[in-house]
Structures are given as C-alpha cells and as structure tokens.
C-alpha cells in the first residue's frame, strides 16, 4: 500500500527541485498519493538508479551487461540492488517451460524467477530476494486487488498514475531495503524486452516519471543496442541502433549512455553517428563487442571507462572506496585468467536430461561445472544424454562409456525416467562418481530400492501413483507440519542437518548444518528409510525436525563418490566459491583417472580419503 510521508520530503530536498512538481512529492494529499508514492521515510537522492533498456532486439545479454556493470560499481565499495522487471503476466517464473525460457531460478526466499537472477547472484556474489524480481502480473494483481478492496476511493483506476505508481513504489522500497534490509547506494533496473514493446511500456513510463521526480543526478539511463554487420556488406551499420534509441526518446527518455553490442569492435564512424543521432556525447558511447568469456566483461567495461561515466552522471565519486576496488579486481582477474589457463586435468562428465538439447534449461548446472573446472584446473567435457533412448543396460553402458562422472539433474514428468534410473545403476555398479540432483536424488533411491533391496515395482507416485513400493511419494501431511500449503511445492532455502563423519559433512567443511535451495513436491517415503539404510544407503542430510531426507550417500566401501541432494546445489554455486557437491564430484572424477591427485592440496580438501586399514 503506497504511503506517503509529508514530513520527510517537502522540506528536505537533497536535489534541486528543478521541475516544480516535486514540491508536491510525498504529500499525503489524495491527488498526489498515486503519482509519486514512496515508503515512509524515503529520501530522494540517497539511492541512485541505473536503468538498462534494450533496443533493436532481445537476446543481447542485457542481464550479463547489467550484472557486470553492477559488479563494477559494487567492487568500488557501493551497495547495489539489482531488479529485473518482466513484461509477462505470470506472477513468477514457476510455471514457465524451461525449454522455452531457460531454467527456473529459485531464490533463498522461495521466489521462482527468471534465470537472469542467477546471473546477478553469481556475478555479484550476493543473495537476492523476491524484491529483486517483478512481473507485470505482480503489478497488475496488486492494483486489481486494491481496487476490489475499495482502495482507490471511488476514482477510476488507470495505467498512469496507478500502475506506474506501483512500479515506482517497488523501486523505492528496494532502494530503502535492497542492501540486506538497509538502504542501497544504487538500484540497477533491468527492463525485460526492448523499447517499443507493448508489454514493458508502463515500466518505461514509470522510470521516466521516477527520473523526473527523483531529480537531477539521480537516474542514469543506459540504452543497450545492437550494431548490425551484414556479411554481404562487410561493414557495420548503425541505422537499426539509431531507430531503436529513437523509440526510447519517443517515450521521453534521453539515454545518458549507449552501449553497443556487436560481433566486432564498433568503429569510430558508427559511434560518431550514434552520438550525433542520440544526443549522447561520444565519450559515453561504448563498444560492447563479443568477448571470449562473460567474465571478461567487467574488466572490459572498466578499461573503457563505463564505470567512471556512471559515477560522474550520478555524482557518486565520493562514495567509492579505491582500496576495496583493487582487492576485488585482482580476485576477479585471477579467476578470469584461470578460466582460460591450460588445465592440469581432464574429465568427461555425462549429464542426463529431458532438455539435453537446450543448455539454458540447465544454465546453473553449466555454471557450477565451469566454477569447478576453474578452481580444480580441470578441463571438463560435458556429454548430454537423452535418456528416453536408453531402453536397456547395454545401450546405457554405451551412452556412458568413458565418462568419469555422472550427473542426473532435476526434472518433472515421466519422459526418460527409466533411462535415468539405468544411468544411476551404471554409475553405482561401475563405481563412477555420481551426483543426483532433486529428481536425480529420487532416481537414486528408486534404483537402490529396485536393484539392491529387490523391491520390484519401486517407483515415485509422481510417475506411478499405485506402484507396489512408493519409495518416493507426495507427503501432504508432512508439508502441513512445515507450514506449507498442500499442493504447492517446497521452495527455497531450507536447513539441512548433516551426519557427523559423513561424506556430506566432509564436503561442507565438517559442518553439521547448512542451507540449500529446494524446489520439489515429492520426497522419500519415511517408512522405507530404515530398510534402505540397512542395505547401505545413508541419508546423511535431513530436515532439522521432520523425517525429510535431504541428502544421500553410499559408504566408501560401496562407492568412491555417490551423492544426492533433494535440493538444487547448482543454485548456490558461485565463481569464487563453487558448490561443494560439484567440487566433490569433479575431484572424484579426477582422482579416478589420476590417483595421485588425492594427495595434492586440492585433492586433500575435496577427495574423501581412503578408510584407514583396520589393524588387528
Ligand atoms: N519432480 C520431482 C518433484 O517434484 C523433482 C523436482 C525437481 O527435480 N526439481 O519432487
């Protein structure tokens, strides 16, 4: 509910009231309440806004651009709060098909978001919340629900000011709380889609209003555009970019900075044209051409002076901490250098998956593997395996032959499930390092039930509601105990208690408790737990209070590295601190080819040492 606070704003303007209108800002008077809502105590000019809007086309890597820029500013000692504004009417990304939209990323607070939020978390090294993600569906719902409650006091409800008002309110709330509950220095706004789309028009209008109300030096608009280079012409053409930027200007927004995505470095001629047609000084036009890695982008931006221009536009130079920047920069450069350094080790990793053809559906897994490859100096070749074709053990063995590690990732639905179970069996019986994630964890339990306990007809009620042995089942009562609504998924960060002396606690640095992120509906049926454990499967990670199995492993006498999590470890992997379950998997894969690796410093940390021989 927007609230305004007249005491704080009307006579406490930090920036000049150049527009006159602002003397009304924050007044609780009915007529202005919807125009410029702000949380109680909000002060203009404290938090600055950087807005990234795409032009010409989507798919320019706006999320990577915005997160790299936010990282550069954060590294200077400023607190940053990114927000992604989606134009779609879905309330969140939970119902989106990963095959079309990329993976559903789950935040610690359980919000199901676009995969870009994963990019922000990884590049910024910062946990985000539902406040960092907004969809048109959320905004309209808020407005319509308030209308039903009679919250608009008899007036007609309109896009301007009511819908745009909610957008501004969200941005100001984030400004006040986006730094771990405290005020953020800079809010980075990424508008989904491109300028001129119907869907995001109200966001762009709200941002125009925001910039006007916040006053000079408060908001920096960055137009991300694309420079075409048709192969038949063999030269760069700027017209599409000009027209795209014009769409933004037609909406009343004069960009401060133009960033040009392009295959090759953008020529001076093209930059001059863009400067001329967009009223942006040449020093604020940047070539953001393709780099060998996304990790090279922050440094490329810094070298071109993009960060300094942002600081000048927003008058933020005084808030920076150069010492902090040097440390952060060295750390990041070291990481980016190691990505391309020749690797000491090599493994091949098999990943099963329904969406094997589309890597965006597994973006976080892909990244988690990349983080480990860098930290362990291992060249990891991934082999994606379509399990719907694995109709028997021979075909499975053929598909997996030669891999040193296997991941069975999460998923929903029946397709390829039997093939996944065969892959688990192959990894277990051939003692090949294995990591089961969410559905993969459940497959590991079913495989063990069928082939070790001899429970014919063991399955998950997700696939076979009336199976003889529902090892994996939907347990609504248990969810009620946890305070979750029936029918919905268990989502977000949950504590996991780790058994002492387990592989699980070894991986997590001998901790007895950690937190990982979940997104599932089914889980291990508690009545089978004792039987499974008697035969060797160990549930080494559990819910602190309820009988929810959250991690499994096999003892070293049975397997060198067989681990599963009911959660999604890939969601918490970060470039400089990869997830332990992935590190353990890759390290075990390396050790299977090079036993001497276990004795190295990294090996001692990540490869579980062989059990001590029992002396008589
Ligand atoms: N389909 C399974 C469940 O709902 C696994 C979900 C997943 O892998 N994310 O429990």
Q: Which two tokens stand for residue 24?
A: 């009304």
**Is the pLDDT at 99 greater than 70, yes or no?**
yes
Pocket of ligand 1 (CB under 6 A): 410-412, 438-439, 462, 519-522
**Is the pLDDT at 290 greater than 90, yes or no?**
yes
Looking at residue 489, what is its pLDDT?
A: 87
Looking at residue 355, what is its pLDDT?
A: 52
Residue 89 Cα to ligand 1 middle (Å): 25
Terminal Cα distance for the chain, rounded: 73
Q: Whose CA is nearest to atom 8 of ligand 1?
A: 410
- Distance, in Å, from the CA atom of 372 to the CA atom of 207, rounded to the nearest integer, reads 39
Which pLDDT tens digit goes with each residue over 145-170?
999 999 998 899 999 999 999 999 99
Percentage of the residues of the chain whose pLDDT score is greater than 70: 91
Q: Which two tokens stand for residue 340?
A: 């391309």
Which pLDDT tens digit goes with each residue over 501-513?
999 999 999 999 9
Tell whether omega for the bond before 212 is within 30 degrees of 0, i.e. cis.
Answer: no
Pick the atom of ligand 1 nearest to 412's CA. Answer: 1
**Is the pLDDT at 325 greater than 50, yes or no?**
yes
Q: What is the mean pLDDT of residues 212-223?
A: 97
Looking at residue 354, what is its pLDDT?
A: 59
- Choosing from 94, 410, 417, 421 the residue with most ligand 1 atoms within 8 A of its CB, the one to mutate for a pocket test is 410
Looking at residue 468, what is its pLDDT?
A: 97
Percentage of the residues of the chain whose pLDDT score is greater than 90: 83
Q: Which long-range contacts (CB under 8 A, 24 or more apart) does 448-457 make?
A: 448/532, 448/535, 448/537, 449/528, 449/532, 450/421, 451/425, 452/535, 452/536, 452/537, 453/531, 453/532, 453/535
Q: What is the mean pLDDT of the chain?
A: 91
Residue 531 Cα to ligand 1 middle (Å): 23
Pick the atom of ligand 1 nearest to 489's CA. Answer: 4
- Choosing from 417, 437, 439, 472 the residue with most ligand 1 atoms within 8 A of its CB, the one to mutate for a pocket test is 439
Q: What is the mean pLDDT of residues 27-31?
A: 49
Pairing of strands 513-520, 490-498: antiparallel
Which pLDDT tens digit goes with each residue over 413-457?
888 999 999 999 999 999 999 999 999 999 999 999 999 999 999
Looking at residue 101, what is its pLDDT?
A: 83
Q: Whose CA is nearest to atom 9 of ligand 1?
A: 410
CATH code 3.40.50.880 region(s) in the chain: 342-606
470 beta partners:
459
- Distance, in Å, from the CA atom of 385 to the CA atom of 400, rounded to the nearest integer, reads 8
Residue 522 Cα to ligand 1 middle (Å): 6
Looking at residue 286, what is its pLDDT?
A: 98
CATH code 3.40.50.300 region(s) in the chain: 56-219+291-333
The active-site residue, picked from 438, 520, 525, 553, is: 438
CB 495 within 8 A of CB 468: no
- Distance, in Å, from the CA atom of 472 to the CA atom of 463, rounded to the nearest integer, reads 10
**Is the pLDDT at 614 greater than 70, yes or no?**
no
Residue 567 Cα to ligand 1 middle (Å): 9
Looking at residue 480, what is its pLDDT?
A: 67
CB 279 within 8 A of CB 244: no
Residue 411 Cα to ligand 1 middle (Å): 6
Judge whether 520 counts as a catalytic residue.
no
- Distance, in Å, from the CA atom of 127 to the CA atom of 108, rounded to the nearest integer, reads 7
> What residues contact 232, with CB distance under 8 A and at least 6 apart?
none
* CATH label, 56-219+291-333, candidates 3.40.50.2300, 3.40.50.300, 3.40.309.10, 3.30.70.1230: 3.40.50.300
Confidence of residue 488 (pLDDT cuts 50, 70, 90): confident
Which pLDDT tens digit goes with each residue over 519-558?
999 999 999 999 999 999 999 999 999 999 999 999 999 9
C-alpha separations of 367 from 71, 294, 507 in Å: 18, 11, 19
Judge whether 30 counts as a catalytic residue.
no
CB 519 within 8 A of CB 112: yes
CB 225 within 8 A of CB 259: yes
Looking at residue 479, what is its pLDDT?
A: 65
**Is the pLDDT at 332 greater than 60, yes or no?**
yes
**Is the pLDDT at 115 greater than 80, yes or no?**
yes
Residue 518 Cα to ligand 1 middle (Å): 9
Looking at residue 30, what is its pLDDT?
A: 52
C-alpha separations of 365 from 369, 436, 602 in Å: 6, 12, 21
Q: What is the mean pLDDT of residues 109-131?
A: 96
Judge whether 378 counts as a catalytic residue.
no
CATH 1.10.600.10 fits 342-606, yes or no: no
Looking at residue 1, what is its pLDDT?
A: 39
**Is the pLDDT at 594 greater than 70, yes or no?**
yes
> What residues contact 17, with CB distance under 8 A and at least 6 apart?
23, 215
**Is the pLDDT at 357 greater than 80, yes or no?**
no
Looking at residue 8, what is its pLDDT?
A: 37
């Amino acid at each position: 509910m927007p609230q305004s606070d007249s005491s704080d704003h009307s006579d406490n303007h930090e920036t000049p009231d150049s527009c006159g209108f602002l003397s009304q800002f924050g007044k609780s008077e009915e007529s202005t309440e919807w125009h410029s809502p702000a949380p109680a105590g909000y002060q203009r000019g404290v938090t600055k806004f950087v807005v990234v809007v795409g032009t010409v086309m989507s798919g320019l890597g706006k999320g990577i651009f915005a997160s790299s820029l936010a990282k550069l500013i954060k590294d200077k000692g400023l607190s940053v709060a990114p927000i992604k504004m989606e134009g779609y009417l879905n309330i969140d990304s939970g119902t989106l098909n990963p095959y079309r939209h990329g993976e559903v990323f789950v935040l610690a607070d359980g919000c199901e978001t676009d995969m870009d939020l994963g990019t922000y978390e990884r590049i910024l090294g910062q946990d985000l919340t539902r406040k960092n993600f907004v969809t048109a569906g959320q905004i309209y719902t808020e407005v319509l629900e308030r209308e039903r409650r009679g919250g608009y006091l008899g007036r007609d409800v309109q896009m301007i000011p009511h819908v745009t008002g909610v957008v501004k309110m969200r941005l100001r709330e984030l400004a006040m709380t986006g730094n771990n509950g405290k005020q953020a220095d800079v809010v980075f706004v990424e508008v989904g889609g491109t300028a001129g789309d119907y869907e995001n028009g109200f966001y762009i209008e709200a941002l125009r209003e925001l910039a006007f109300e916040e006053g000079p030096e408060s908001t920096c608009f960055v137009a991300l555009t694309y420079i075409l280079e048709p192969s038949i012409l063999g030269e760069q053409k700027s017209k599409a970019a000009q027209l795209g930027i014009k769409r933004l200007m037609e909406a009343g927004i004069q960009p401060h900075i133009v960033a040009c995505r392009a295959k090759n470095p953008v020529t001076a001629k093209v930059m001059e044209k863009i400067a001329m047609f967009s009223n942006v000084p040449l020093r604020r036009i940047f070539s953001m051409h393709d780099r060998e890695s996304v990790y090279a982008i922050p440094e490329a931006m810094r070298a071109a002076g993009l960060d300094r221009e942002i600081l000048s536009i927003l008058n933020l130079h005084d808030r920076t901490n150069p010492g902090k920047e040097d440390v952060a920069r060295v750390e990041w450069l070291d990481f980016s250098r190691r990505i391309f350094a020749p690797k000491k080790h090599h493994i091949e990793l098999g990943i099963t998956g329904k969406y094997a053809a589309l890597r965006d559906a597994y973006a976080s897994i892909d990244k988690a593997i990349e983080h480990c490859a860098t930290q362990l100096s291992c060249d990891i070749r991934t082999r994606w395996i379509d399990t719907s074709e694995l109709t028997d053990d021979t075909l499975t063995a053929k598909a997996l032959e030669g891999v040193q590690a296997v991941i069975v990732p999460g998923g929903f639905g029946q397709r390829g499930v039997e093939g996944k179970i065969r892959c688990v069996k192959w990894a277990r019986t051939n003692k090949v390092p294995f990591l089961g994630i969410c559905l993969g964890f459940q497959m590991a339990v079913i495989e063990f039930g069928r082939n070790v306990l001899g429970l014919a007809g063991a399955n998950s009620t997700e696939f076979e509601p009336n199976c003889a042995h529902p090892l994996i089942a939907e347990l609504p009562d248990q969810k009620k105990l946890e305070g979750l609504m029936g029918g919905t998924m268990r989502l977000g960060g949950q504590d996991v208690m780790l058994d002492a002396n387990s592989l699980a606690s070894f991986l997590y640095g001998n901790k007895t408790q950690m937190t990982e992120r979940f997104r599932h509906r089914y889980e291990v049926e508690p009545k089978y737990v004792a039987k499974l454990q008697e035969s060797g499967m160990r549930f080494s990670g559990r819910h602190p209070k309820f009988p929810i199995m959250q991690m499994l492993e096999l003892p070293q006498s049975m397997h060198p590295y067989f681990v599963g999590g009911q959660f999604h470890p890939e969601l918490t992997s970060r470039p400089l601190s990869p997830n332990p379950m992935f590190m353990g998997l890759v390290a075990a894969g390396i050790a299977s080819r090079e036993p001497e690796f276990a004795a190295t410093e990294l090996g001692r940390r990540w490869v579980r040492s062989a059990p001590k021989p029992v002396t008589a």
